[in-house]
Amino acid sequence: MEKELWKGNEAIAEAAIRAGCKYFFGYPITPQTEVPEYLSLHLPEIGGCFLQAESEVAAINMVYGAGGCGVRVMTSSSSPGISLKQEGITYLCGSEVPCVIINVMRGGPGLGTIQPAQGDYYQATRGGGNGDYRTPVLAPANVQEAADFVRMAFDIADIYRNPVMVLADGMIGQMMEAVEWHDIEKRELPAKPWATTGTQGKREHNVINSLYIQPEPCAEHNEKLEKKYKLIEEKETRYEEIDAEGCEVLFTAYGTTSRVCRAAMKLLADEGIKAGLFRPITVWPFPYAQLKKAAAQNSVKAVVVAELSLGQMIDDVKIALEGSKPISFIGKAGGLVPTPREVADAAKKAIGR
Amino acid sequence: MAIVYQKSKGLTDKELHYCPGCTHGIVHKLVAETLEELGIIGTTIGVAPVGCSVFAYDYFSCDMHGAAHGRAPAVATGIKRVSPPGTTVFTYQGDGDLAAIGTAEIVQAAMRGEKITVIFINNAIYGMTGGQMAPTTLIGQKTTTSPLGRTKEHAGMPIKMCELLSTLDGCVYAERVCVTDIPNLNKAKKAIRKAFELQQQNAGLTFVEVLAACPTNWGKPPIKAVEWLKENMIPYYPLGVYKDSAEVK
Ligand SMILES: Cc1ncc(C[n+]2csc(CCOP(=O)(O)OP(=O)(O)O)c2C)c(N)n1
Ligand code: SF4
């Protein structure tokens, strides 16, 4: 299959079209703006609709309306804009409306910077909106994965009736890499009898809603959602291990940072240190058991967590390891990316070399 | 036996939860009758707000969405933009919902000329949360968060949504009505019908503001509440057509 050179954000947008998404509602923000720009040109060509909303709050609520009608719909933004979408995300989860949300993360807090960061990990995996809810989060490490994960995200959203987030960062959004538009795994998708398509006088009315005013039904609703989240944990947890077998240092990193770790692994190999990588692909559900198993090898002296933040995913690593191995951290926040040398040195320090 | 009156098919059999003398129930009936008369119950999708009419999704027999507080016009935009041609979409919103937290959404939807109908219930107070000041609360009106009465110096003058929206090209029809007596009720029904008919012609956003009574939070018995509305609300919020830029074909 032919490879094509694609900019990350444009590949994300094209992947949505290839997934059968005809509707997009968004608001400009760097470094994700090429997503709406691309779709503003190409969605009308396929009889779809691109609409620039007045804010991220409005955009996510438009997504809520559209998704409730049963169509595939997407929105994208970057960190401050994702903060504004939190209200909509909790409503989407509470009402079980499928959609895809892209976050091309930048530095924070507040307006921060437009450079790449991974400071929205807590928000993405714990939820920045109110209530007990979960959104599956896929974290691509390159443009090919961004293109693949967007298409996978639409399927996961439809199968579980839940919003799904693709968590990229400014590096992946802005860089150009080779992309192959290969087929992704074909999954069986459920019908959407719940969608508000008009009763046509043939059925009871459908209601898209997250209000359960009495505590018992609300508790029941929460338990039903929890069952779904457990099923997602069981079926959709994804991760990758690279050279992890018999390694002395086990890096744990996702997205852009995992690539810095891979470069650091080469530097360490030159110095006779065997380092491996455990890369969560879904950061929710987090591959706790799989990470614990990889770290449990006798050869592993330390687990080194690398992030473009001051340490957020490290909490999940701690939960996974339950104190079984020493954990150390290397990270930068605010738009800087640690160099392979810095990451390699952090690893050496962790094992006392 | 001839049937002289029956409940509109636009309503479900769910019992309404509104207080005695509340305007919400009357306006529900007018909207439901209109959907039935136009034969569009099966092709209509409504959006309920957050406010006393939050359960409107249970009362209308067409497909319904509940929206977050103030976001109904954005939700309706999403619905309208992805639904097949001929789908009717309406929002039903209170004054806290539409004129405070949702001001951006209604103004921008009107600017875009979204082909939706907005039914706006202006009762000059936050009903659901127990009678706090709304942006529509009148000067001097006492609420639980303006216990000494609203003043212009502190809270500004009450917002007039019909007047505001009628300045926008995309809002093709804006009328303010009340339902305090039969002649006004008939006028309100006509306005609501026109708003839906214009939507069917893709004219733009259509807006009907209904001056409404909240006897419970105004602290008045229903009849006194209607008197208060007539004496105080109508002078500040004059009834009538504010915008009518599209013709009913
Ligand atoms: C984001 C958010 N803020 C506040 C509330 C609380 N709240 C519920 S209804 C309401 C006011 C509703 O007043 P109005 O729109 O005038 O409708 P009414 O109840 O008078 O019909 C408020 C503030 C909420 N549900 N969500
Ligand atoms: S509190 Fe006011 S607005 Fe709410 S139902 Fe009662 S009378 Fe109606």
pLDDT for the residue A104:
98
| A contacts of B68 (beta carbons < 8 Å) | 61, 87-88, 91
Span B24-243 CATH architecture: 3-Layer(aba) Sandwich (3.40)
pLDDT for the residue B1:
82
The mean pLDDT of B134-157, rounded to a whole number, is 98
Which residue is listed with tokens 């744990």? A252
CATH 3.40.50.620 fits A3-193+208-236, yes or no: no
Q: How far is the CA of B28 from the centre of ligand 2 (A)?
A: 13
CATH 3.40.50.920 fits A240-350, yes or no: yes
What stretch of H or E contains B24? helix B24-37
pLDDT for the residue A210:
98
The reply to whether domains A3-193+208-236 and A240-350 share a CATH topology is: yes
* Residues A179-200: tens digit of each pLDDT: 999 999 999 999 999 999 999 9
The pLDDT of residue B38 is above 80:
yes
Give bridge partners of residue B194 from the DSSP assignment. Answer: none
Give bridge partners of residue A100 from the DSSP assignment. Answer: A74, A164
pLDDT for the residue A1:
83
The pLDDT of residue B249 is above 80:
no
- Distance between CA atoms of residues B165 and A187, nearest Å: 47
- Distance between CA atoms of residues A276 and A269, nearest Å: 10
Q: What is the largest CA-CA distance in chain B?
A: 62
The pLDDT of residue A320 is above 90:
yes
pLDDT for the residue B246:
87
Is the pTM above the cut of 0.95? yes
3-state SS, residue B136 = coil
The mean pLDDT of A307-312, rounded to a whole number, is 98
The mean pLDDT of B84-100, rounded to a whole number, is 98
- Distance between CA atoms of residues A254 and A145, nearest Å: 12
Q: How far is the CA of A152 from the centre of ligand 1 (A)?
A: 38
Percent of chain A's residues with pLDDT above 70: 100
Q: Which of A84, A207, A210, A221 to mutate to test the interface with B (most CBs of B within 10 A)?
A: A207
pLDDT for the residue A43:
98
* Residues A137-178: tens digit of each pLDDT: 999 999 999 999 999 999 999 999 999 999 999 999 999 999
| B contacts of A67 (beta carbons < 8 Å) | 78
- ipTM value of the model? 0.96
